[in-house]
Structure 1
């Protein structure tokens, strides 16, 4: 990306250092094709919602009381209704990006407050980006339609350990890889789409560049010990998902077949 500004290059440096491999050129070539734009944008929109859902599940499972959990569910419900059930008017979502209740942390979890703070902030950003992608698809005359999810997140999460706190630590590491890969792909395709969309992807990269570090910091804090072995374990799985042949072209898909 020759015309990348120095500040973007600086944001990408740690992301590239963290990710085990770069996006294959074959994926970028396919992503450049105009006929792939509808599926890329639809999938990207769903990815933003899934990122918000993952953060919400972490807060509900590990950090808050029942009433706070219900408030989180209510916050995301209109977005989920629209995305998975095609129910509701998408424009109304603009007024819905607020959490109407203070989260009450579980007293027996020392990390609860930090998990809540980081994840609520992340949910707000992801839902805002979800709406922005939706706006762009409407502008471009791309109708939203439901689509199946790619193998990527599932391929990572399959390897999460089944006991605590190991499961939480693994989920946070997976979250870090998903966020970092998203940012790397924003940068990879930004120069190849029209200027408005390219600038949008760069703006997303700016606001989401620290998300993967938030996940890693939490994982490290909760583990209370070195987690580099676990990070390396998931790096191998992530690289395999990105570099192996994948017949389903999506935002996080592997090597196009």
Structure 2
């Protein structure tokens, strides 16, 4: 084993170790076997693409709902609109999406909310990275001859978020915890499936580990900062829900799906 390979494997393990401690279960081998099948690659990539956009949208909604004024919120909507038009309405040329990757609008924090600026700082960076990953998935899919087409969303995020409390700031804290689990599972699945894909896809998925690992930590840090009380019990609560979604039967194969039927 060369020194470079050893260093790469060591870095991957250092990123995954705390993440595996956070998640309540690993991806079942049955899901990995399904993801390895060549016939499922288009679904895997298309769903991954949508997951990247949904991650950006979720971060954007948090900023708009909790952290910025109306004008800043409109600027965020306009930033994501070309990506949404392409994904949901099949409008536009995906190659031109790179022209919309930057965002220079100054966000104006809501007054009397001490967590507004940390939320803005972390979520704007997350949006930029997710949109960049979105474009990278499209590039790889194009090289592989996989054209984008709309697909239905999996049950995963919707089911997690259905358990969010309905009053504030508990709702925000729960949303951040859900975001942490979604990002952590994404990271864990990149590592689980990467060894079984083409060299280029494998390299790409491993390259995502660093940012995705930081994303889940950012979500947790924000949740802890906003809460006046210890949130360990709430983290464990959502961990069990997430575990059930991953380990229960699921006839809809997607990036975050459960056990294949």
TM-score, normalised to structure 2, is 0.97
Corresponding residue of 2:99: 95
Match for 1:169 among 145, 169, 173? 173
Kindly indicate whether residue 245 of structure 2 is the aligned counterpart of residue 241 of structure 1.
yes
1:55 is displaced (CA, Å) by 0.1
Match for 1:69 among 73, 93, 101? 73
For residues 11 and 41 of structure 1, what CA distance do their matches in structure 2 show?
A: 23
Structure 1 portions without partners, runs of 5+: none
Answer yes or no: is the 8 Å Cα contact 1:249–1:256 preserved in 2: yes
For residues 218 and 147 of structure 2, what CA distance do their matches in structure 1 show?
A: 34
1:225 is displaced (CA, Å) by 1.6
Give 1:121-132 correspondences, 5 Å limit: 121-132=125-136
What SS does the corresponding residue of 2:172 show, helix, strand or coil?
helix
Corresponding residue of 1:221: 225
What SS does the corresponding residue of 1:5 show, helix, strand or coil?
helix
For residues 108 and 154 of structure 1, what CA distance do their matches in structure 2 show?
A: 31
Query: Which has the higher mean CA deviation after the structures are superposed, 201-210 or 71-80?
Result: 201-210
Match for 2:198 among 178, 194, 198? 194
1:224 is displaced (CA, Å) by 2.3
1:95 is displaced (CA, Å) by 1.2
Corresponding residue of 1:137: 141
Corresponding residue of 1:146: 150
Query: Which has the higher mean CA deviation after the structures are superposed, 206-215 or 9-18?
Result: 206-215
Corresponding residue of 1:52: 56
TM-score, normalised to structure 1, is 0.98
1:100 is displaced (CA, Å) by 3.4
For residues 178 and 224 of structure 1, what CA distance do their matches in structure 2 show?
A: 24
For residues 207 and 119 of structure 1, what CA distance do their matches in structure 2 show?
A: 13
For residues 207 and 174 of structure 1, what CA distance do their matches in structure 2 show?
A: 17
For residues 166 and 32 of structure 1, what CA distance do their matches in structure 2 show?
A: 39
For residues 100 and 81 of structure 1, what CA distance do their matches in structure 2 show?
A: 21
* 1:157-216 superposed Cα distances (whole Å, 9 cap, x missing partner): 000000000000000000000000000000000000011000000001122211001000
What SS does the corresponding residue of 2:45 show, helix, strand or coil?
helix
| Count of residues in correspondence between the two structures | 256
1:11 is displaced (CA, Å) by 0.4
For residues 41 and 114 of structure 1, what CA distance do their matches in structure 2 show?
A: 32
For residues 97 and 75 of structure 1, what CA distance do their matches in structure 2 show?
A: 8
Corresponding residue of 1:27: 31
Corresponding residue of 2:161: 157
